[in-house]
Amino acid sequence: MPGKFIVIDGTDGSGKGTQTKILVDRLIKEGRQVEIADFPRYGQKSATMVEEYLNGQYGTAQEVGAYRASIFYACDRYAASFEIKKWLEEDKIVISNRYVSSNMGHQAGKIKDMEEREKFLHWLEDLEYNLFDIPKPDLNVLLYMHPTIGQQLVDKKGHRDYVGGNKRDIHEADLQHLLDAAEAYKYVADKFDWHVIDCTPEQKLRTIEDISEELFEKIVLHI
């Protein structure tokens, strides 16, 4: 497709939404045609099972497991894929806050055996890109923040409808899950050659402006 598809993902609390907005605003000011995708699409019918999962209605993240949870998220992306394809056919830049990469991080982190993890990642790519036929990104950028710092920043977020207030979802509430996901994010970033931005070098938090400048410099090379 003539357009460009850029995914911004990251560990919890890394500022994915903030950095996506800053990037999109800057690209629009430069005269680019830009559209935003944001996953999960809370409030949409296609994200209902994601919301119920994150609220713990199906059990803990480990009890649900990597495969079942991945299908919840994949169905939501499938529902959104028709509009994303339309934007790309119109030669627009599509910036997505999270995508298949989020399943790769959060769900692969549940699988410690590397042979089984590789099996899962192969299954996930086939599910999302072949069975559901959703667009593949031109670039994945990972915002990496150390989980202990990220969890503290999550607690500073305001009201979120999908959890019914200011509380954490089942991923955010489980520090071990966040640690496992962070390790898995690093693993898949290396495997699939994503660009990684370290938001907390030596566990010291970089400024929003510093991170956004590095992100912008990387994105313009691909559009």
Task: Output the CA torsion 84→6→184→156 (10° steps).
Answer: -90
Percentage with pLDDT > 90 across the chain: 77
Number of helices followed by number of strands (H, E) in the chain? 8, 5
Percentage with pLDDT > 70 across the chain: 91
Confidence band, pLDDT 50/70/90 cuts, at residue 141: very high
pLDDT at res. 39 = 97
Structural domains of the chain, count: 1
Q: Give the domain range for residue 47.
A: 4-220
For the chain, give the mean pLDDT: 91
CB within 8 Å of 181: residues ≥ 6 apart: 11, 12, 105, 106, 109, 147, 171
Confidence band, pLDDT 50/70/90 cuts, at residue 23: very high
pLDDT at res. 157 = 60
- Residue among 38, 49, 42 at smallest CA distance from 9: 38
Higher-scoring residue by pLDDT: 158, 54? 54
Residue type, position 91, single letter? D
- Compute the distance between CA of residue 172 and CA of residue 177 in angstroms, rounded to an integer: 8
pLDDT digit string (tens) for 61-82? Answer: 999 999 999 999 999 999 999 9
* CATH code of the domain covering residue 53: 3.40.50.300
Query: How much is the pTM?
Result: 0.88
